[in-house]
Structure 1
Amino acid sequence: MFRVGMFISKRKHEPAHYMLKIESFSILSEAKTSKIESDVFEANGYKWRLDLYPNGNDEENGAGHISLYVVICDTETCSKGWEISVDVCFFVYDHIHHNYVTFQDVNGHRTRFHEKKMTWGFDKLIPLESFVESKNGYLLNDSCVFGVEVIAVPEFTQVDRCLLMTRPPAIMNTYTWTINKFSTVTEDVLYSEVFKVGKVKWKLKIYPKGYGLCIETDNWFCNSADDWGFSGFILLSELNDSENGFLLNDNLTVEAEISVMGTLRYFF
């Protein structure tokens, strides 16, 4: 269901961030009150409020309609040049079908709030004639409910990337790390010096006394998974057994071979 500049749909669950119930809407409308401001609510770490024009916002050619806006508040603490991009969805409760009619930008455009743009919404949300019509369910016993969701959208400064896969032998490098006087180590975890394979910097991590349970044997490195290995790599009893030859003069040498098979890179 579409209207110029607006996409209208329905859903059962209530708005996540804020609801405003108005009782005796007819009295409010007859009083010719130009604007109703809700109390301030918080969403995504920012403070907001709803501005409702029960008879329409005349200054924006919204006369004869319900005009509804969301306003960002208390921006004095924001850094200079602040800017936030959000997805906004307005709600009006349908008392007949017990669901919420939702109103969003028809093209899915995100709204960018900044110092010169503190307000966004619809000048002509619903024609007053339709709003007061009992069969539409917006009013029940002269009461109505409005709501809003404000979803902040993270700004990505680097978005154009492609995955470059290579076949073996690919980029390969071997790093050797020697830990002297291994038996005297008291730390729970040790880190090697940083080394480079391809364009990526790495370092080895070892738990001299062991660590937890075994983990998976495959891994894709990313921001949320920046390490990988075997928590049950070798039994300490086997490592310390002189007949196995892992320790020489109480020195332990660890070697890792890394083959880079795929990387993300920017493209233009």
Structure 2
Amino acid sequence: MGSSSEVVSTIVRKWREHPPSSYSLKVDSFKQLEKFTTSSNDNYQSRLFSSCGYNWKLIVYPKGNEKNNGKGFISMYVEIDSKSLISAPNCEVFAELFFFIYNKMENKYLTVQDVEVKRFNALKTVWGLQQVLPFDSFNNPEKGYVFEGDQCEFGVDVIVPSPLTNWEILSFNEKLPIPKFSWSLENFSQLTEEKYRSNTFSMGARKWTLLLYPKGDSRAGGKWLSLYMQLADCDKPKAGEMILAQANLRVLDPLGSNHIERKLNYWHKEENLGWGSYMFLSLDELRKSYLDKEDALNVEIEFEVVSATKYSPNL
């Protein structure tokens, strides 16, 4: 089976009512511009203008840049001032370029953009489009680009994206050095409190606790053991933060053959810190098979994955 490749154009053309915001070049006589640019390498260069903290020039070839396959077209470019590069990070600037040609008939601007962001540096100070608009279409008064005798307008928007300041790096720790935590509740049959909380323990750079209701929480009807894993109060997630914990929560069989296990796979958030089961184990079954000879209930949690997130300093 043969293979084929598709060439995808990065040039986008569309109409826009709003004028250019970086720079506009209005010409009273396009024919005169054509005539006199023959003495300046066939192009006209605007004065310096400022956009996004850097200085630029708009360069227009009225009859096209023949050296860059622009013959028969209007060619337009932007050049960064070399002094601006000195102050730029790493002496380079990334910019999006939008070129404009006003159309009086439509009362709109034809905008032409190469959607690829351009890198300006000492080796490449000029970027643009050699084929913005066919010369014949532009120079035809019936098309609307040349109007009121011989006037026309060119323009450009130079957009320099702001440096990245907001970011996060999400990772999943699957190689926990000591993945288990054990908890023994002695004299279980004599426990009188509604709930009990284990000591705080660390896992995956987070602090956790286990929460146990000996006679079940309010939903268990006094017939079930309720058991949960929770992030410790001292390590609550930030607003909007999510922490994944994948673990196996167990009530251990004293004989070691029939542990009761629930798999936990949950993203912990600020408003919901815990996960587990209010019907983890029936109290009848617990009393029958899961208390050891000293009347202790042994609980264990084994972690498989804990996520970690690093944030930019301003978050």
Larger Rg belongs to: 2
Check the 8 A contact 2:85/2:93 in 1, yes or no: no
**Which residue of the other structure, out of 210, 231, 249, is the alignment partner of 1:170?**
231
The gaps in structure 1 that reach 5 residues or longer are 174-196, 201-218, 223-257
For 1:11, the equivalent position in structure 2 comes to: 16
Q: CA deviation at 1:8?
A: 0.5
- Secondary structure (helix, strand or coil) at the match of 2:233 reads strand
1:28 and 2:37 matched = no
Q: CA deviation at 1:31?
A: 3.9
- Partner amino acid for 1:99? K
For 1:84, the equivalent position in structure 2 comes to: 93
Q: CA deviation at 1:76?
A: 5.9
The gaps in structure 2 that reach 5 residues or longer are 1-7, 173-207, 209-227, 242-269, 274-306
- Paired with 2:88 and 2:111, the residues of 1 have a C-alpha distance of 33
Q: Structure 1 residues 260 and 41, CA, compared in 2 at 3 Å: closer, same or farther? A: farther
Check the 8 A contact 1:18/1:148 in 2, yes or no: yes
Percent identity between the aligned chains? 30
Q: CA deviation at 1:145?
A: 0.4
Q: CA deviation at 1:260?
A: 10
Check the 8 A contact 1:163/1:263 in 2, yes or no: yes
- Paired with 1:161 and 1:265, the residues of 2 have a C-alpha distance of 5
Check the 8 A contact 2:168/2:309 in 1, yes or no: no
Q: CA deviation at 1:221?
A: 7.5
For 1:178, the equivalent position in structure 2 comes to: none
**Segments of 4+ moved more than 4 angstroms:** 157-160, 258-263
Q: CA deviation at 1:27?
A: 2.1
1:68 and 2:129 matched = no
* Structure 1 vs Structure 2 CA RMSD: 3.5
Q: CA deviation at 1:11?
A: 1.0
- Paired with 1:160 and 1:259, the residues of 2 have a C-alpha distance of 20
Q: CA deviation at 1:162?
A: 4.4
For 1:48, the equivalent position in structure 2 comes to: 56
Q: Structure 1 residues 171 and 130, CA, compared in 2 at 3 Å: closer, same or farther? A: farther
1:131 and 2:154 matched = no
Q: Structure 1 residues 8 and 153, CA, compared in 2 at 3 Å: closer, same or farther? A: same
- Paired with 2:157 and 2:11, the residues of 1 have a C-alpha distance of 16
1:101 and 2:110 matched = yes
The alignment's TM-score, normalised by the length of structure 1, stands at 0.59
- Secondary structure (helix, strand or coil) at the match of 1:27 reads helix
Check the 8 A contact 1:172/1:259 in 2, yes or no: no
- Paired with 1:79 and 1:127, the residues of 2 have a C-alpha distance of 35
Check the 8 A contact 1:35/1:51 in 2, yes or no: yes
- Secondary structure (helix, strand or coil) at the match of 2:230 reads coil
The alignment's TM-score, normalised by the length of structure 2, stands at 0.51
User: What does the per-residue CA deviation read over 1:127-179, in whole Å, with 9 as the maximum and x for residues that have no partner?
Assistant: 11111112221101211101111111134498674499x99622432xxxxxx
Check the 8 A contact 2:171/2:309 in 1, yes or no: yes
- Secondary structure (helix, strand or coil) at the match of 1:20 reads strand
- Paired with 2:239 and 2:167, the residues of 1 have a C-alpha distance of 19
Higher RCO structure (Cα 8 Å, ≥6 apart): 1
For 1:188, the equivalent position in structure 2 comes to: none
